[in-house]
Structures are given as structure tokens and as C-alpha cells.
Amino acid sequence: MEGEDRIRYGVINVGVNPTLKPGEFSLEVHILDFDEDIYGKKMYIELMEYLRKEEKFDSVEELIACIANDVAVWTKRSKELKNGSCIKIGEF
């Protein structure tokens, strides 16, 4: 994956992940239409828009449903923007 010159779109959580790992700070990226293992790869992340604040869910299923909604909202919104929030994976 490193060295690839592509732009990928996604939604990002920056915070303490109160549903799964309370108190542990993390930055997690959900890359749209992507299912490869890229752990250990370098990424350049450009944040373009804030969707919502972090919240604690009562179940993992509620969290997954909210992420699915975030993806739907962002997919629609990114089409409205000339340059959307993106993730470029490769050498920098």
C-alpha cells in the first residue's frame, strides 16, 4: 500500500472511544469501500469537516448503526464539496 498515489475517502473518530475503550485516546479511520489490512502503513489524513461529537453508545450494534449513518451523511456531503475529507495512503 505504501507508495500508492491514491486518495481514499472516510470518516474519522478522534477521541477516547467511550463505548469500547473508555479513557484510551485514539484516532480511528473508517475508509470507505476498502477492506485491506494496512496496519503499519503510513497515511496522510486531511480533515475537512466535523460531523458530530463523540458519544457513548449502550451497545456495539448502536455504535455500528451510528457509524453507518456517519458514512451515509459523509458520502452525500462529500459529493456537495469540491474537495472532501480524504485519506491519501503512500510515501510522504
Catalytic residue positions, numbered: 28
Torsions phi, psi of 79, nearest 5? -70, -25
User: Which cell numbers in the block locate residue 82?
Assistant: 469540491
What is the radius of gyration, based on Cα positions, of the chain? 14
